[in-house]
Chain A
Amino acid sequence: QITLKESGPPLVKPTQTLTLTCTFSGFSFSTTGVAVGWIRQPPGKALEWLALIYWNDDKRYSPSLKTRLTITQDPSKNQVVLTLTNVDPVDTATYYCALWRYDAFDFWGQGTVVAVSS
């Protein structure tokens, strides 16, 4: 059974760095073509892709957020970590991690709500 679960602080202050962790199970991150990605959804708005990290450590970032994002993996812990620097209230959103296979996010975590406010 494939599961992914996001964890992180529910509240961060403007200009701080947000660190989110995705802990997964039920699949091997060493399988060719597999990746884990992060997607967010601000309140009342659409889904927005943020970053992808592949089994071979290849990384892709949304061009609009590239300078603020870092995605890393810890295979020994079955975790993928996303950091977003210099947060602003517009970064308030539900953040999801998801399994990327066959060119699609086919399993999603439950999401974690993050508010940016002073």
Chain B
Amino acid sequence: QSVLTQPPSASGTPGQRVTISCSGSSSNIGNNYVYWYQHLPGTSPKLLIYRNDQRPSGVPDRFSGSKSGTSASLAISGLRSGDEAEYYCATWDGSLSGPVFGGGTKLTVL
């Protein structure tokens, strides 16, 4: 059971916009930045969004993040087949004194 709650799956057709939610508590999301990772099959996880809504260099602006209270979300617009991956939210948890990950959301492009 992960500390952060994500839907196990999400899907969309090419060109659509999908959002993935991440729910936590005051000990984690509520008082810390949220990060999102993209884990493509056969590769290492890649930092997609940092500090709630910032994109590292090279990440397309089709990917955006937001946070409100103890929840956060990742939005992907202009969906492409290459976006099929597992997406994880993460943040620091003050009660655990360490980073925590969500359970992951498998995105399928139909």
Contact = CB atoms under 8 A, between A and B. Distances in A.
Interface residues of A, number: 23
Interface stretch (A8-16, A47-55, A76-84): A47-55
A63 B44 contact: no
Contacts, number: 62
Nearest to B103: A46
Given A63-B96, A104-B90, A46 B50 contact: no
Contact of A60 (B33, B44, B46, B97): B97
B2 interface: yes
Contacts of A102: 50-51
B3 to A, nearest CB: 10
B35 interface: yes
A96 B44 contact: yes
Nearest to B6: A46
B47 A47 contact: no
B45 A47 contact: yes
